[in-house]
Amino acid sequence: MELLMPGLGLVFWMTVAFGVVLYILKKYAWKPILNVLDAREKHLAKSFSDAKRIEHEVTQLAAMKSEKIAEAEKIYEEITVKAERDAEKIIADAREKAEQEAHEISEKTDKMMQQFKEEAFRKVKGQISDLSIEIAEKVLLEELSDRDRNSRYVSSLLEKIAVN
């Protein structure tokens, strides 16, 4: 029963002991504990504000990332369009150059054909003149008195030339 009903002396000494412990705690431990708690509270407040700041920075970085991605996609699109235009221009230039070269080759071929044709006509004219001279020689060698016979002879010679 003593535990349920402590004596007056026990209560007194417990109160004195509690007061001494309270005084010692107040004198030596209370300020350091409060300082630690204040430092802890300040540290938590700073950590919380840093977390808010970092969260804000992360949001800004995400927005910048989205902008940079959009900008990169735009630049990619511009480069792609420019490359396609350049490729089309190069193809068109190459096609035009090929057409010019083909036209030049065609003109050269036409000129060469014309030269060959003219050369062939000159040779044919030369042969015709040589044959005409031969015909004239043969006609002169034939009797010149018979005109009908001479004209038939010239016609037959001309037919031979035409056949050749």
In a domain, 2, yes or no: no
Q: Let me know if residue 21 belongs to a domain.
A: yes
* In a domain? residue 67: yes
Residue 4 included in any domain: no
The string of pLDDT tens digits covering residues 122-163 is: 888 778 777 777 777 776 666 565 667 777 777 787 777 766
- What is this structure's pTM? 0.41
Residue 79 included in any domain: yes
Contact, 139 vs 154, CB < 8 A?
Answer: yes
Query: 117 in a domain, yes or no?
Result: yes
In a domain, 148, yes or no: yes
Task: Please report whether residue 1 resides in a domain.
Answer: no
What gap in Å lies between CA 61 and CA 56, rounded to an integer? 9
Of 55, 56, 62, 58, nearest in space to 70 by CA: 62
When computed from its CA atoms, the radius of gyration of the chain, rounded to whole angstroms, is: 62
State the residue range of the domain holding 103: 9-163
Q: What are phi and psi of 108, to 5 degrees?
A: -60, -40
The number of distinct structural domains making up the chain is 1
